[in-house]
């Protein structure tokens, strides 16, 4: 059957139209169609002998600062070259259709902001906010756009202008606490919302993966958008099996534009 926005269950379109407070919770999958490798994609070159989870830790930075800094500079170069995709734009547009929208992301890129989303909550920090690993002083990047480091190149981290210690990426590593304010904002938004979208996340990393459960406990409808199954499948009221850049524009069309010609069809199915 030709995929049109009619694939989106009428009950979902009705629930989104009726929702006062909506949360959009995203993971690396929402940036996949912008060409940003998801966290678990095979690490290339020098990093292929590392598991991302092992590299995104304070220990790895202490032991191999130039491998870890090189990895993040490679990822930052990817992000700077990337553009927001139709999913980021649909999420930004959603803010104009519902009374309150909170965008909460695990991603360290700024594609939600570049698509126009406001007040994005970053649970795991940002590639664009390097800081001193000792005195935490914010640092400016030496080169605003790193020359495309060939994947795998070691790059020695710059040294803090104030205390001389190595500069680290402004991200939350495994074993590190989430920024307290961001976590407070996120849990409050999840507990109070009427509807939560979980888009492009494997729902494996805690405490972020707790948010849909908090929303469910607060009586919210849970909608998952992911081409693959995740542990959230069991809890979601709607499992939209498909790519975010295909599904999200169709969700908005189904809910807010009766008669608007549906955007290009995709593979998404409502399951
Ligand atoms: C903390 C920033 C403690 C860095 C990241 C055992 C059990 C439970 C928990 C733990 C445990 N052992 C350790 C823990 C805690 C640990 C944890 O959860 N580990 C997991 C792996 C078991 N958590 C932590 O350490 C957290 N801190 O707990 O602190 C503490 C408490 C008090 C005091 C002190 C300390 C910190 C976690 C933050 C780690 N940092 N990112 C960086 O980016 O480099 S997490 C990182 O991995 C990403 O941000 C992402 O969120 C996560 C998963 O990566 P991916 O799988 O790539 O991405 P994602 O999950 O988003 O999955 C991609 C999805 O997209 C897939 O499902 C795919 O199907 C889908 N997809 C693909 N294409 C598309 C798509 N979807 C839609 N459209 C498409 N086109
Ligand atoms: Zn310093």
Q: Please write down the HEC assignment for all residues of the chain.
A: CCCCHHHCCHHHHHHHHHCCEEEEEECHHHHHHHCCCCCCCCCCHHHHHCCHHHHCCHHHHHHCHHHHHHHHHHHHHHHHHCCCCHHHHHHHHHCCCCCEEEEEECCCCCHHHHHCCCCCEECCEEEEEEEECCCCCECCCCCCCCCCCCCCCCCCCCECCCCCCEEEEEECCCCCCCCHHHHHHHHHHHHHCCEEEEECCCCCCCCHHHHHHHHHHCCCEEEEECCCCCHHHHCCCEEEECCHHHHHHHHHHHHHCCCCCCCCCCCCEEC
Same domain, yes or no, for 114 and 154? Answer: no
Instruction: Domain of residue 100: give its range.
Output: 1-35+84-124+178-271
User: pLDDT tens for residues 14-32?
Assistant: 999 999 999 999 999 999 9
- Which CATH number goes with the domain that contains 205? 3.40.50.1220
Same domain, yes or no, for 71 and 90? Answer: no
Nearest to 150 by CA among 80, 74, 75, 81: 74
Same domain, yes or no, for 144 and 233? Answer: no
Same domain, yes or no, for 65 and 159? Answer: yes
- pTM for the model stands at 0.92
Tokens of 2: 């030709």
89 is catalytic: no
Tokens of 251: 């969700």
- CA–centroid distance, residue 4 to ligand 2 (Å): 54
Tokens of 218: 């607060």
- CA–centroid distance, residue 134 to ligand 2 (Å): 5
Same domain, yes or no, for 213 and 154? Answer: no
Ligand 1 contact via 113 beta carbon (within 6 Å): no
Are the CB atoms for 28 and 200 separated by under 8 Å?
Answer: yes
Tokens of 254: 């189904």
CA-closest residue to ligand 1 atom 36: 174
Are the CB atoms for 254 and 8 separated by under 8 Å?
Answer: yes
Ligand 1 contact via 171 beta carbon (within 6 Å): yes
Same domain, yes or no, for 66 and 138? Answer: yes
Choose one of 145, 171, 197: the last residue of a domain.
171
The ligand minimizing its distance to the Cα of 225 is 1
- Which ligand 1 atom is nearest residue 26's CA? 61
Same domain, yes or no, for 10 and 48? Answer: no
Ligand 1 contact via 227 beta carbon (within 6 Å): yes
* Residue-by-residue pLDDT tens, the chain, 271 positions: 334 455 899 999 999 999 999 999 999 999 999 999 887 775 666 667 778 888 999 999 999 999 999 989 989 998 999 999 999 999 999 999 999 999 999 999 999 999 999 999 999 999 999 999 999 999 988 776 666 666 678 899 999 999 999 999 999 999 999 999 999 999 999 999 999 999 999 999 999 999 999 999 999 999 999 999 999 999 999 999 999 999 999 999 999 986 544 445 544 444 4
Per annotation, catalytic residue among 88, 124, 128, 237? 124
Are the CB atoms for 271 and 239 separated by under 8 Å?
Answer: yes
- Which CATH number goes with the domain that contains 70? 3.30.1600.10
Tokens of 186: 């996120």
Are the CB atoms for 214 and 23 separated by under 8 Å?
Answer: no
Question: Long-range contacts made by residues 134-141, C-beta under 8 angstroms, separation at least 24?
Answer: 134/160, 134/163, 134/165, 135/160, 135/162, 135/163, 135/165, 137/161, 137/162, 137/163, 139/167, 141/76
The ligand minimizing its distance to the Cα of 231 is 1
The ligand minimizing its distance to the Cα of 130 is 2
Ligand 1 contact via 45 beta carbon (within 6 Å): no
Ligand 1 contact via 209 beta carbon (within 6 Å): no
Choose one of 112, 136, 171: the last residue of a domain.
171
- CA–centroid distance, residue 204 to ligand 1 (Å): 6
CA-closest residue to ligand 1 atom 14: 206
Same domain, yes or no, for 70 and 5? Answer: no
Ligand 1 contact via 226 beta carbon (within 6 Å): yes
Nearest to 96 by CA among 112, 68, 76, 117: 117
Same domain, yes or no, for 66 and 194? Answer: no
Are the CB atoms for 135 and 163 separated by under 8 Å?
Answer: yes
Same domain, yes or no, for 185 and 223? Answer: yes
CA-closest residue to ligand 1 atom 8: 206
Ligand 1 contact via 124 beta carbon (within 6 Å): yes
Same domain, yes or no, for 137 and 191? Answer: no
Are the CB atoms for 31 and 200 separated by under 8 Å?
Answer: yes
Are the CB atoms for 117 and 40 separated by under 8 Å?
Answer: no
The domain total for the chain is 2
- CA–centroid distance, residue 10 to ligand 1 (Å): 32
Tokens of 29: 């999958």
Choose one of 135, 154, 171: the last residue of a domain.
171
Same domain, yes or no, for 97 and 151? Answer: no
């Amino acid at each position: 059957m030709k995929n049109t926005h009619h694939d989106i269950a009428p009950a979902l379109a009705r629930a989104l139209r009726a929702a006062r407070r909506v949360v959009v919770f995203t993971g690396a999958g929402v940036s996949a169609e912008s060409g940003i490798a998801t966290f678990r994609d095979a690490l290339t070159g020098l990093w292929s002998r590392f598991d991302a989870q092992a590299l995104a830790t304070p220990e790895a930075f202490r032991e191999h600062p130039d491998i870890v800094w090189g990895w993040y500079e490679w990822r930052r170069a990817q992000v700077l070259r990337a553009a927001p995709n139709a999913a980021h734009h649909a999420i930004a547009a959603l803010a104009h259709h519902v009374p309150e929208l909170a965008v909460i992301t695990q991603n360290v890129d700024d594609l939600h902001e570049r698509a126009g989303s406001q007040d994005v909550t970053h649970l795991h920090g940002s590639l664009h906010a390097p800081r001193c690993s000792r005195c935490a002083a914010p640092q400016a990047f030496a080169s605003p756009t790193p020359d495309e480091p060939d994947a795998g190149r070691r790059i020695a981290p710059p040294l803090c202008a104030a205390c001389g210690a190595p500069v680290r990426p402004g991200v939350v590593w495994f074993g590190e606490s989430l920024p307290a304010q961001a976590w407070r904002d996120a849990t409050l938004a999840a507990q109070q919302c009427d509807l939560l979208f979980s888009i492009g996340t494997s729902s494996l990393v805690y405490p972020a993966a707790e948010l849909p459960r908090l929303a469910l406990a607060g009586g919210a409808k849970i909608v998952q958008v992911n081409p693959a199954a995740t542990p959230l499948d069991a809890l979601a009221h709607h499992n939209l099996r498909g790519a975010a850049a295909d599904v999200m524009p169709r969700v908005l069309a189904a809910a807010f534009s009766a008669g608007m010609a549906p955007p290009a069809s995709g593979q998404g199915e409502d399951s």
